[in-house]
């Protein structure tokens, strides 16, 4: 559905040249949800803009459903929906329904299709209750929902989401992810998401493309990625009894090597960090069990964010 081959882009100013995207290539199949992540300035938004035909690459070519967005922007954009999390495509001073009416005309959506999609988005977003409100008066979460509906009203084959959850509270983020998943399942929309919130990627994407300084440094399945980089795990144990706690820490330090122990005796919990190894977790838990009844414990994976940090570090060695 999306093919990018050997694309480079340099921003030129009077005195400075800045290579923002450096010879990247990837293919995205129909119906995939791909996370496109990287630090600020890694070239994510630039890539999205080139995919929409707003920017011209210096080298390489792009095709979306067989059409080049640069050579044929108007035709290519019929297949594309875009959400820029930080700006809106809605008419600020008008009721929301007026923005939808404009989009309906632009994409020549028939009344039947329009109403059907509105019904559907009403189910997941309760969008109908917002239709008469002036866009200016919507909350950020409501506006984001409205923007998503706006970018999907023509049922595009491809949806680019540039930080769709930016600024949303935790609850709205969860709702938003659910909605994205539902839309992907119902319409088989190919979705590309750039985000700084790694939960978005963990929960939505099978595949991640990680970008650093304009280069792709990882492009593969997200589970493979976590497997490779989540070499550390943490066990968090809560123990009320202080004497028991000290005793446990002592025996852990003596009997198991290569572990890191942090404890907090005020809030009575211990954090044990260990390298992933065969049976290590079992040995730790057995030891805890020998010291009395097995208390409450949680095993935590290394956060994706830290894994990406590690990946960057490896890249720059």
Binding site for another protein (CB under 8 A): 11, 44-46, 48-49, 52-56, 73-78, 80, 82, 84, 86-89, 91, 93-94, 98-99, 101-108, 134, 162
Shortest Å, Cβ 280 to another protein: 44
Q: Which is nearer to another protein, 84 or 225 (CB)?
A: 84
What is the spatial distance between Cα 276 and Cα 229, in angstroms, rounded to a whole number?
Answer: 10
Using DSSP, state whether 18 is helix, strand or coil: strand
| Nearest of 287, 218, 292, 207 to residue 255 by alpha carbon | 287
Shortest Å, Cβ 163 to another protein: 9
DSSP-derived pairing of the beta strands 17-28 and 2-12: antiparallel
DSSP-derived pairing of the beta strands 207-212 and 33-38: parallel
Shortest Å, Cβ 130 to another protein: 17
Q: Which is nearer to another protein, 76 or 291 (CB)?
A: 76
Q: To 10 degrees, what angle do helices 280-290 and 242-255 make? A: 140
Shortest Å, Cβ 127 to another protein: 19
Q: Which is nearer to another protein, 193 or 249 (CB)?
A: 193
Shortest Å, Cβ 121 to another protein: 19
Q: Yes or no: say if 191 and 30 are a contact pair by the CB < 8 Å rule.
A: no
What is the spatial distance between Cα 158 and Cα 78, in angstroms, rounded to a whole number?
Answer: 10
Q: Which is nearer to another protein, 16 or 267 (CB)?
A: 16
Shortest Å, Cβ 123 to another protein: 26
Q: Which is nearer to another protein, 4 or 51 (CB)?
A: 51
Shortest Å, Cβ 161 to another protein: 12
Q: Which is nearer to another protein, 158 or 216 (CB)?
A: 158
What is the spatial distance between Cα 21 and Cα 9, in angstroms, rounded to a whole number?
Answer: 5
What is the spatial distance between Cα 147 and Cα 121, in angstroms, rounded to a whole number?
Answer: 12
* Placement of tokens 């088989």 in the chain: 188
Using DSSP, state whether 5 is helix, strand or coil: strand
What is the spatial distance between Cα 200 and Cα 35, in angstroms, rounded to a whole number?
Answer: 8
Q: Yes or no: say if 79 and 67 are a contact pair by the CB < 8 Å rule.
A: yes
* Placement of tokens 């097995």 in the chain: 294
* DSSP at 235: E
Q: Which is nearer to another protein, 72 or 221 (CB)?
A: 72
């Amino acid at each position: 559905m999306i093919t990018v081959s050997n694309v480079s882009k340099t921003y030129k100013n009077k005195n400075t040249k800045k290579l923002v995207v450096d010879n990247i290539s990837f293919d995205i199949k129909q119906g995939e949800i791909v996370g496109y992540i990287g630090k600020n300035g890694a070239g994510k938004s630039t890539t999205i803009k080139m995919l929409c035909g707003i920017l011209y690459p210096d080298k390489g070519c792009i095709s979306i459903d067989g059409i080049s967005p640069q050579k044929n922007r108007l035709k290519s954009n019929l297949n594309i929906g875009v959400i820029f999390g930080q700006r809106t495509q809605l008419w600020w001073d008008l009721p929301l329904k007026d923005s939808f009416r404009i989009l309906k005309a632009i994409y020549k959506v028939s009344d039947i299709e329009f109403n059907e999609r509105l019904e559907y988005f009403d189910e997941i977003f309760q969008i109908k209750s917002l239709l008469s409100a002036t866009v200016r008066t919507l909350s950020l979460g409501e506006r984001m929902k409205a923007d998503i509906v706006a970018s999907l009203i023509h049922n595009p084959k491809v949806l680019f989401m540039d930080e769709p959850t930016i600024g949303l509270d935790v609850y709205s983020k969860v709702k938003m992810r659910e909605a994205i998943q539902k839309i992907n399942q119902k319409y088989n929309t190919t979705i590309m998401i750039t985000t700084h919130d790694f939960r978005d990627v963990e929960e939505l994407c099978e595949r991640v493309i990680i970008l650093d300084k304009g280069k792709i440094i990882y492009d593969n399945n997200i589970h493979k990625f976590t497997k490779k980089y989540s070499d550390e795990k943490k066990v968090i144990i809560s123990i009320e009894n202080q004497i028991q706690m000290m005793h446990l820490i002592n025996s852990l330090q003596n009997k198991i090597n290569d572990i890191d122990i942090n404890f907090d005796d005020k809030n009575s919990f211990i954090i044990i960090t260990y390298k992933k190894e065969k049976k290590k977790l079992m040995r730790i838990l057995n030891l805890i069990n020998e010291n009395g009844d097995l208390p409450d414990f949680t095993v935590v994976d290394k956060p994706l964010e830290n894994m990406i940090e590690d990946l960057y570090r490896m890249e720059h060695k």
